[in-house]
Structure 1
């Protein structure tokens, strides 16, 4: 009887809605193609160009409703005062309810976006963008202020790209999707997330270009804390005045830098409960020169005006970098552009590399709140031994720091977030509850092992959401009406 009723319901629902199983287009939502001049400039083969066209069209298809330069939200209001005369954390523009039709959010989440002022690595005031991901039912903790506010986690994203279009607030899945922002919001936290300066908003009020100062971790730490300050000034009745900082990869380094910033600036630190740094980029030139050199080279001239890309990269690398900048490629296409003889020998030993590392490497400043560092041993982008060394040096420099170190055996770069989700969610909950940490030495290491042999687990994602198309394609997500 029950089966008959269910079949009857499904038949009548399908008939009423007139659901048609029409074949869906598998084309990208973009028709980009590398110009022949760029193909010649970069010495790409025809096969290289074809592959890169597919990658770039995929990247462009992930923009929610089109690129940032076609979205009025990222344009600064003409009547707004010069940001040079505004304190960091000032609100420039607010979009209370972002149209999420073109996003691939989890059900029962809502999105807001806003523009605000922050500071770059040189201390110059600049505009930037950020988003807030709202939970359906916020967590409740006894000490929240206001009492009915949503507890806040500041999320700092992994590398999404190097130019304006790479803003996570414009990405269909907010770039990290279920790995962190969706998981946090679904667990009842309001997620406040900066895009990092130079991603999203690309011009200041004078029309000057805003570069993304890649891996300039203290600069992005400014973005994180001032995004929170701005968000609180907009939604003081909805967002708690206490917060946890979290990030992964580039964002893990930003989270660590934010903890150092707050540990040395009491006026900014009010409300900070702790930090989670996952797969953190903490020692910038302990990665591959092939990738790090061009990535940093795009923005380093904004830090050192005398810097010339030609002093850093080979002529081949310079051509590839300039072509990459021309097409405004994202992270995926970067790996197609930067292959071969890119960087000059001993790049990490140059004056610029040493000076930049001194500005941006982590572990040399105190932190005053608890920090959980999580690192996978099979991470191909942030080496386990580098993170271990940074933790050891930070604890040597500041032995009273409350740094806990979780090592996830056998997990890779971003998947370490997924493997350790239960642990970092509980750790965040305990910070809002005011739970005391167990008495351990700074850098105390715990090991997270897989329940089954590690080889039996899926190492990374092997399925991806497709473009949803029109209403008749709702058969792909049955029973969602």
Structure 2
């Protein structure tokens, strides 16, 4: 790519010999406040981002590094419901929306009969929240249970389902579920560091929680465990436990991510240190950026030496659908976002934003995981989902502004990773966000790494080696590298 390396001189140092090339890029314009229309396409792109659908760019052959076992590959799609269940089973969905339970290009986890939770849903007793819920500080463990590994974890590692205290946007004490995986062996003198993983979109329903699927729902898990880190992954509020899920709501997602790190410390005590690396992908990229912004004030006892956001959703007005089919798929996820925002904030005027066709499918969509929900709107043209003028609603505009990352400083060094061939989260959009919202503030330390030819579905596997190298440097307290000087000089 011509001139691509001009903005990213430091990134090449992170690539292991033989790794995929990292390039920078000229930011093609200044960042601007997102108009309201961005929520629809944002929700779509984010939901599609979690799909692990067949979006790999031409010329990129996704490969899993030898150190990454099958369980550590990105989940294929929403496959968080057992095969053969749900309204969408056996149905061919829209492009970018895979079948339930398929292994797909991302290597989705298969159901293991030895783990009974996987054959049902989050209505299992483990996920039932005590009533009343006894007050406790965020991160306190409510209950935990070990998860059979079936030989899929490195020797000595132990996986746990966890139910822990967090808080809602109103400050109420709530229960959130997730997974914690602890490496084997004797911990370091100060305890194992923690990596808090933020996942992409799984759906809005309680049974869409990734923890139902066990440790295979965490990409890069094998590599992280080999770095001698505890890996903890929140489900977010409303997945696994009562909601609503703070879908695309940065504060709510971030609290789940930070309290998950706290819960890992509560789970294993002195075996865990207070050092926490935050890593997120797509929707989870937004969550990671917000968690980095909030860490010093919300969880000051945690030492966060690094925040990594892979293909994060930002700049809401940049996600413009390219084909009628994509518009239909993105319409589904726009509905998911609006339904979730209405349930969480309480003042979003859905009746003035959505058509009767869209409103009548609300109950089905909020009670389904990805593919089943897609069947509800697959044949409804995008133009028949939203009322005219919906994108000019001032309440919606305010909520979009509230949930744009990068508006406050992040103390920790950041890494933003983006594929140049990403058709879900565009490379140009992420480049503008880094240049204007992060580097433009002149307060953040940001390493921006673009992987030439990588698409949304292949970005995690393509970036594994470099991401692991960056995490190693952060855990060693190496100074953060900063791409901003060069990025800003190439930005008009």
Q: Which residue of 2 aligns with 1:201?
A: 241
Q: Which residue of 1 aligns with 2:59?
A: none
Q: Deviations over 1:188-229 (max 9, x none)?
A: 321011110000112xxxxxxx21121112111001111111
Give 1:296 deviation, angstroms: 0.9
Q: In structure 2, what is the Cα distance between the partners aligned to 1:334 and 1:186?
A: 37
Q: Is 1:270 aligned to 2:321, yes or no? A: no
SS of the residue aligned with 1:68?
Answer: coil
Unmatched 5+ residue regions in structure 1?
1-27, 36-47, 203-209, 446-481
Conserved in 1, the CA contact under 8 Å of 2:127 and 2:177?
yes
Match of 2:438 among 386, 392, 395: 395
Match of 1:67 among 112, 120, 145: 120
Q: Which residue of 2 aligns with 1:295?
A: 336
Match of 1:246 among 255, 265, 279: 279
SS of the residue aligned with 1:361?
Answer: coil
Q: In structure 2, what is the Cα distance between the partners aligned to 1:57 and 1:272?
A: 35
Unmatched 5+ residue regions in structure 2?
1-80, 103-107, 322-329
Q: Is 1:379 aligned to 2:422, yes or no? A: yes
Q: Which residue of 1 aligns with 2:130?
A: 77
Conserved in 2, the CA contact under 8 Å of 1:213 and 1:219?
yes
| Alignment of structure 1 residues 55-454 onto 2, 5 Å | 55-56=99-100, 64-78=117-131, 82=133, 85-95=135-145, 97-101=146-150, 105-108=152-155, 109-136=157-184, 146-147=189-190, 149-172=191-214, 174-177=216-219, 180-202=220-242, 210-263=243-296, 265=297, 268=300, 270-284=302-316, 286-287=318-319, 290-325=331-366, 328-339=367-378, 340-341=381-382, 342-345=385-388, 347-395=390-438, 398-438=441-481, 441=484, 444=487
Q: In structure 1, what is the Cα distance between the partners aligned to 2:201 and 2:86?
A: 24
Q: Which residue of 1 aligns with 2:7?
A: none
In our comparison, the structure showing a higher alpha carbon Rg is 1
Q: In structure 1, what is the Cα distance between the partners aligned to 2:482 and 2:402?
A: 32
With over 3 angstroms needed to count, the CA separation of the structure-2 counterparts of 1:331 and 1:136, relative to structure 1, is: farther
* TM-score calculated relative to the size of structure 1: 0.71
Identify which range, 315-324 or 399-408, moves more after superposition.
Answer: 315-324
Conserved in 1, the CA contact under 8 Å of 2:447 and 2:482?
no
* TM-score calculated relative to the size of structure 2: 0.70
Total equivalences in the alignment: 384
Q: In structure 2, what is the Cα distance between the partners aligned to 1:243 and 1:88?
A: 16
Structure with larger RCO (C-alpha < 8 A, sep 6+): 2
Give 1:164 deviation, angstroms: 0.9
Q: In structure 1, what is the Cα distance between the partners aligned to 2:303 and 2:289?
A: 16
Q: Deviations over 1:406-436 (max 9, x none)?
A: 0112111131111111111001001111112
SS of the residue aligned with 1:244?
Answer: strand
Give 1:242 deviation, angstroms: 0.7
Query: What's the C-alpha RMSD, in Å, of the aligned pairs?
Result: 3.3
